[in-house]
Structure 1
Amino acid sequence: MNQLLKNIHPLSWTIIIGTIFGRMATSMSIPFLSIYLIKTMGATPAETGIVVAVSSLIGVFASFYGGYISDVIGRKKVLYISIFGWVLVFVGFALADKIWIFFLMNALNGLCRALFEPTSRALLADITPQESKMLVFNLRYAAINLGVVAGPILGLQLGASESGTAFYFAGLVYLCYGLVLVLQFLIHKGIGTADQETGEQLTLQGALQVTGKDRTFVYVLIGMIFCVLGYGHFSSTLAQYMEMSPEITDGAKWFGYMLSLNAIVVLTVQFPVVRLASRFSPIVLLIAGNLFVACSLLLFGMFHTIWAFMVGVVVFTIGEVLMFTMTDVLIDRIAKPELRGTYFGVFGFNNLGNVIAPLLGGFLLDAFGASSALLIFTILALTTACGTPFLLIANRHLRTAQVGADHSSQTEKTQSCT
């Protein structure tokens, strides 16, 4: 383990540590956006759903381009644009006083995330030795959840559901993150720049054709859309339901505690799951995670006490860890090295689930009301479970491809011996 930690590049540590503070800043503001819009701005659930969904909608259409362009112009430039763009976005959130301004800022928030996420993951894959990649990707995932442990509690203290103070704080954090990243790139020159030969040969159409013909990748992507759909209901539909339900008092406060519990459970079970992951195909873990999340949504609809919700959060979080712990490793394994950024970018289409989640949840809450929780969350659970058949097909393709690769390798060894 010590040797693997020594192999981690300083820039990787910058991204991992920066992720802790960035996610802390984001989770003290963005998860409360639904409640803030309803409670302070007087928005309807449908309007709130549209504002929340636009971030993911923009992300869907921009993420594949963000990953592709990082292959062409270099990771460094794309990271600068996204991080310093976030500074302006959070200041804009703090100053917004109309629903359409929140809509615009959240659209830009989605654009920044669509540029940053695939590019940062591709950079980590670029500068990390193969034997350390699983550790690095899981440290990044742990960093996300370390930030989310403290973020919601700080958000509650700053009154994130009632004022814009948390947004100013988030902007300051991303400004510091960006300046540290600039310093690191100055120290480690040559990293994050474009490969000129690759940049000249690569076209967007060609890159999309390559990923579109990769059947394993396509089925994983479709299955993950449904997984993310279920995951997205936690911060959108559930947040609105807790604010609207007549059976729950102080919904914003309890939702903040649930966010922190979610992060604590992630940190508790993540590395045992990583050890378990070596025994199974990553896609098998995605299937199990999909079913856990679907079951947790049923629990949220069936029981309406805070303690039952906490149990639901634990079940949900186990599913989350199973779904997301091995995703980056799986995509890195499937991707062609020269198109790594593009693969991570196209995989951003899984955010269609995050687009659909608040729209579907907002529509169901408007149509049936918070008193019809069982019906609403049963529909959400069933739509989430629709990802399982696609992941099963992807697993079959992956096994077939592995058998073919092993056969080819054995043939080459036999020929070399003769």
Structure 2
Amino acid sequence: MDKLEALLIGGYWPELMAVTLGLLIRAGFTVDVICNNTAFRRSSAIRDYVLVKKRDLLARTAAEKIKKDYSLVVIGDDATLGVILNSDLTHEQKLRLLPILSDKNFGHIFSKIGLSVALQENGISTPEYRVARNEGELAAGAETLGYPILVKLDSSAGGVGIFECLDKADVEDLRKTLKLYPVLVQRKVKGVEVSLEAFYRHGELVHFAYSIPEKSKYRFGPTSVRSYQQIASLEPQVSDELRRVGKALGSHGFTSVGCIHAEHDNKRYYFEADMRPNLWIDQPRYLGEDWAKIIQRHFAEGAAGRHTGSFDISYPNSVLIPHYLRLTWAELIFNRYGVWKYLPENFLYVLIHYRILTWARWAVRKVYGFFLPKKVRVFFKRIRLQISVRSSPRTREGQAHQPAESHGPRPSMARLEDRR
């Protein structure tokens, strides 16, 4: 087997970046990282670390990096997917970076509307929907679908930008406050929500995990407790449907899929497919399904290395697993949901970096913003910029100072990414 080398890109969600990095290393990859977060700067586990704080430089840096032939490229968050998708890179460069097979698959990346269209066009069950480009179409779509409905911003993450409307009055209230269009108007299907984390290569399913969210941090938000089930105990239709989803989306890497197991007809209706890993990607190992071993075997054996889903009698069929990064302090201290047995070896390090320091930075920004209003900060920033331009060697030599052109993600994400 050739040496496994992976490129990990992201940093907007550092806790997810850390989980993915750990998984890749356990799977035997030598990992290079392009990141906008300094939390990984001193990690000895990374071979080559590139810090890129400016959005417009991230895609360009990644394009240079992929001139090297990596075994696997992983995007660590939705914001980075948006940055690369909306950059001025060529289609070929984007396809080498994004977890898809063809430029025909660009439409569903970080787009709820694009995903619904792709699923429907490929005959995969998805909740009935309408696309609303203005207030009038929002009202018309709601009336056509019937209530209850969900109204979703096209590009959003972490449950932000999802609104439930039970009747016409709710839609009227939403129309007064909703400013960003187009939106997806989707019929709400009653049933049990199911999360399916999958890994694909060339559109073929390699492995997946099956869990039912039991508790969320807030309504429509990230889950904090899940009930996992060994995939060998599932009906074969689940893996068959996931194979069809992967082909429909041209998946070539990690894909976090969501569906509703409906009450009215016992079918699964797919509504989510984030083209990235999620924070739960390493939890199935507590059920005997270690992603690191499965991915390593796949790269060593190819198609023969796909997970067969054989039942492991040394583990229970179903396990309730909390995520320590999603629980409250009280739940951690009092071992709620038996969380202590699911703490990683570097728990204290992770806790300090991704909860305590994050809170401290937030508090500093609040105090900074209170004592230095935005107008004052902008004034000092302009002064610093003028000083740096005047002292620049290029400027002194008579060359124009050209700011880099920005090719950031869709406007909505700029306001949402910090709320993940």
TM-score normalised to structure 2 length:
0.26
TM-score normalised to structure 1 length:
0.26
Higher-Rg structure is 2
| Greater percentage in strand | 2
- Greater length-normalized contact order (CA 8 Å, ≥ 6 residues apart): 1
